[in-house]
A = this chain, B = another copy of it.
Amino acid sequence: MVEVTNEQLLEQARIAWSRAYAKYSKYKVGAAILTKDGKIILGCNIENASYGGTICAERSAICSAISQGYRDFEAIAVVVDAGHVASPCGICRQFLVEFGNYKVILGTVKTNDVNVTSTYDLLPYAFTPKNLEEFD
């Protein structure tokens, strides 16, 4: 399988970014998730008149990937249009970690800034499927 570099994944996230529906915040975000099979799937944020209905780019990408039949991920790249990178919100961290530990690559639309972290590092002591299993 051909290696996908961080920069290549960020480049795909920038394409997703251009499709964001950020009608209310104007804060567009793009994501690209790399499956274990080497497939890249895009996601952008989708806002709603009722703000609570908003779905971020990271979750959009996962939705799209799962709906296409993928569940094992290698990495997700996320780009924002700001002076420097931003970390995923807690809602997305919760959603990402449901599918295990994988690389999270943070970038921007106009700079070459890159931060690399992981789903586990972003949600220490995560509340995961295990918590509910124990409880059963």
Contact = CB atoms under 8 A, between A and B. Distances in A.
Q: Which of the listed residues A80, A92, A98, A129 has the most CB atoms from chain B within 10 Å of its own CB?
A: A98
Chain A interface size range: 35 or more
Nearest to A60: B63
Given A47-B51, A52-B54, A67-B61, A131 B82 contact: yes
Contact of A44 (B19, B66, B82, B132): B66
A134 B42 CA distance: 26
Query: In terms of DSSP, what is the predominant structure of the interface of chain A?
Result: mixed
Interface of A: 16, 19, 21, 23-25, 27, 42-44, 46-56, 59-64, 66-69, 71, 80-83, 86-95, 97-98, 117, 121-132, 134-135
A93 B90 CA distance: 6
Which one of A42, A123, A127, A134 has the greatest number of beta carbons of chain B within 10 Å?
A127
